[in-house]
Chains A and B, each alone.
Chain A
Amino acid sequence: MGLQGDRQPAANSRGSEKMADGAVGKDKCGEPRLVSLPLSRIRVIMKSSPEVSSINQEALVLTAKATELFVQYLATYSYRHGSGKEKKALTYSDLANTAEESETFQFLADILPKKILASKYLKMLKEKREDDEANDDESDNDEAES
């Protein structure tokens, strides 16, 4: 399995994966596919995990399906809890808030950091510096906290 193969569009099927490719849309019988996300791509991501040796086809299908459920859940949760409800929009900050505030989605906190304006951040830094200086003045009287 060469890496070049993964540059092909998701709907393409390689010989060995022709039964497994979860392409968008319907299959030959007109039934909606079990899974929309491309299994080949899911497999690449799974294999990039160092300790993993091999993945059974069912595990691959379930992981793809779970990922779809996850996308749905993350989107609806963030929308419901987000400030965007009045605006009828889902924004990045809705997602960042979810990552920070929900325990379930906490594993996303590092990749979905909250954003603040640069000016606000600089102000925060300045305030912290002033606080630290004030503490230094008091440290002669109080015990140092460490």
Chain B
Amino acid sequence: MAERPEDLNLPNAVITRIIKEALPDGVSISKEARSAISRAASVFVLYATSCANNFAMKGKRKTLNASDVLSAMEEMEFQRFITPLKEALEAYRREQKGKKEASEQKKKDKDKKPDSEEQDRSREEENDEDEERLEEEEQNEEEEVDN
């Protein structure tokens, strides 16, 4: 491959931190052990990717998705990872949704035009968390009308 060797390694500092947090306090890790775990992690990524890719191909898809990765974990006999991974996925999706809404809100503030149609549509799509934000929008509308 054209990648340089160091590009296929993961940063030492992060790997070390993950190891230290997993082991009991006061346990030392030899440099050799650390380096070995880092290499093992890279191999794990390759193995997981290859396995996930098989699932994608079975589904006639060219893009690896989340369920391919989860299926790969099952296949590789790392079932213990599946629950924490699903939780992480949920958290990630919530985070992405929050960011998307935050940037849409910023756009609306910038426009300063009450676009009631858009708001009605987004009201249907949003969930409970967003009712608070809608109240804010209505307040803004009122302020603009006053002006």
Residues in A lying within 8 Å of B, measured CB to CB = 3, 6-7, 9-10, 19, 24, 34-38, 41-42, 44-46, 48-49, 51-56, 58-59, 61-63, 65-76, 79, 88-92, 94-96, 99, 103-104, 107-108, 111-112
Contacts of B30 in A (CB 8 A): 89-92
The reply to whether A48 and B85 contact each other, CB–CB distance below 8 Å, is no
Which residue of chain B is the closest to A60 with respect to CB atoms? B64
| A6-B7, A112-B36 known; A52+B95 contact, CB < 8 A | no
Of the residues A10, A24, A49, A88, contact of B28 by C-beta under 8 Å: A88
The reply to whether B77 and A104 contact each other, CB–CB distance below 8 Å, is yes
Which residue of chain B is the closest to A33 with respect to CB atoms? B95
The yes or no answer to B145 lying at the interface (CB within 8 A) is no
The reply to whether A36 and B14 contact each other, CB–CB distance below 8 Å, is yes
Interface residues of chain B: helix, strand, loop or mixed (majority): helix
B96 to chain A, nearest CB (A): 8
Question: Can you identify 15 A-B contacts, CB atoms within 8 angstroms?
Answer: A7-B4, A42-B10, A44-B7, A45-B8, A48-B46, A52-B49, A55-B64, A59-B69, A62-B66, A71-B40, A74-B41, A75-B23, A99-B40, A107-B47, A111-B36
Bound Cα distance A64, B9 (Å)? 13
The reply to whether A95 and B50 contact each other, CB–CB distance below 8 Å, is no
**New A-B contacts (7) at CB < 8 Å, excluding given A58-B92, A62-B88, A63-B52:** A55-B64, A56-B64, A62-B66, A63-B48, A66-B85, A67-B45, A96-B36
The reply to whether A76 and B23 contact each other, CB–CB distance below 8 Å, is yes
Complex interface residues of chain B between 80 and 112 (CB less than 8 A to chain A)? 80-81, 84-85, 88-89, 91-93, 95-96, 99
The reply to whether A38 and B11 contact each other, CB–CB distance below 8 Å, is yes
Contacts of B99 in A (CB 8 A): 19
Of the residues A49, A51, A95, contact of B36 by C-beta under 8 Å: A95
Residue from B32, B36, B41, B85 whose CB has the most chain A CB atoms within 10 Å: B36
Contacts of B80 in A (CB 8 A): 69, 73
